[in-house]
Amino acid sequence: MKKLLLVLAFAAWFGDAGASLAQDYPVRPVHLIVGFAPGLTPDIVARLIAQPLSERLGQQVIVEDRPGAGSNVGTEQVVRAPADGYTLLVLTFANAVNATLYRTLNFNVARDITPVAATFRSPLLMVVTPSFPAKTVPEFIAYAKAHPGKINYASAGYGTVNNVAGELFNAMAGTDLVHVPYRGSYMPDLLGGQVQVTLAPMATVIESVKAGKLRALAVTSAKRSNALPDVPSLSEFLPGYEAIVWHGIGAPKNTPPAIVAKLNRDINMVLADPKLKQRFAGLGGTTISGSPNDFGTLVSEEIEKWGKVIHMANIKPE
């Protein structure tokens, strides 16, 4: 009985301490780690969120870019950080892919990062060069099947969103598109016709589509995008196909639940601002709101989904 009372007393104390910590939090700047280079979509989205979040928290939210190993360098930095809410991570689609792609990571993102809040989602655009003979997805699939191994699709490297989305397309459409990975930008070769197709984040190619330099065949969301409402969804031709770029914010495991709840509440309030929604729309995306559990479910489902694609296509890191 005494042991039970001690356990209950400790739990009550710990809960009160956590609540008190969250009430005082933050008392110094918060660092938001981005595992990609400046100017890329994760960095842009992080900075759009950081300013209004700083105002809500009453402390500066400092965005720090830590690129390397497909975002693994920045992720490991947060995994090793104190679980006090002062070092946060921009979690992205890449983290879900990397969980399977890299077999010798020093961390497990599902275990070592606590989901805080989802923030941003955007479909990819399936685009071809204007001279490509197919003008619709059914025409593209028919042409690809008639010319197996003759159509090249560009990506930013093995395991990137272009690569896994392209391999999912191959599997569901029964095609044999050839993967051409690039260390730098693939856009010059795509615009020049050296490669014929890619499935790219909308922010990367939407201006080229609007300018007539590329032709959009489909978006990869389950439904059409408001950014390009006349462009069909791939799921209209390949039922169940979906490939979404998403971002969110995570914290080291064991971060006090009260701090996670406070951050989730403030981030969701930032995301509700119509001006931010408009800025996200300019990137071809939308805001996501929800609880930490909602975000955790998204991460888990994406790890499982893309893990199957990586194993099926035998994709390995460079």
> Which pLDDT tens digit goes with each residue over 136-178?
999 999 999 999 999 999 999 999 999 999 999 999 999 999 9
Domain boundaries, the chain: 28-122+245-313, 123-236
The CATH number fitting domain 28-122+245-313, selected from 1.10.10.10, 3.40.190.150, 3.20.20.100, 3.40.50.300: 3.40.190.150
pLDDT for 205 equals 92
Question: 251, 88 in Cβ contact below 8 A?
Answer: yes
Indicate the average pLDDT of the chain. Answer: 93
Give the percent of the chain with pLDDT over 90.
Answer: 86
**Angle at CA 221, nearest 5°, toward 215 and 224?**
65
pLDDT for 178 equals 97
| Mean pLDDT, residues 49-74 | 96
pLDDT for 3 equals 52
Whether the per-residue pLDDT at 14 is higher than 90: the answer is no
| Mean pLDDT, residues 45-65 | 97
Hey, which residues does 195 pair with through a beta bridge?
none
Residue 291 zone, left/alpha/beta (φ > 0; ψ -120 to 50; rest): beta
pLDDT for 42 equals 94
Residue 16's pLDDT band (cuts 50, 70, 90): low
Lowest mean pLDDT among 21-30, 55-64, 114-123, 237-246: 21-30
CA pair distance 197, 216, nearest whole angstrom: 10
- Paired tokens of 92: 């992205």
64-121 per-position pLDDT tens digit: 999 999 999 999 999 999 999 999 999 999 999 999 999 899 999 999 999 999 999 9
- Paired tokens of 222: 């389950």
Closest alpha carbon to 89 in 68, 108, 113, 67: 113
For domain 123-236, give the CATH number.
3.40.190.10
Whether the per-residue pLDDT at 242 is higher than 90: the answer is yes
| Mean pLDDT, residues 259-267 | 98
**123-236 and 28-122+245-313 share a CATH fold:** yes
Residue 54's pLDDT band (cuts 50, 70, 90): very high
CA pair distance 50, 4, nearest whole angstrom: 44
**Angle at CA 221, nearest 5°, toward 218 and 227?**
70
pLDDT for 9 equals 53
pLDDT for 1 equals 54
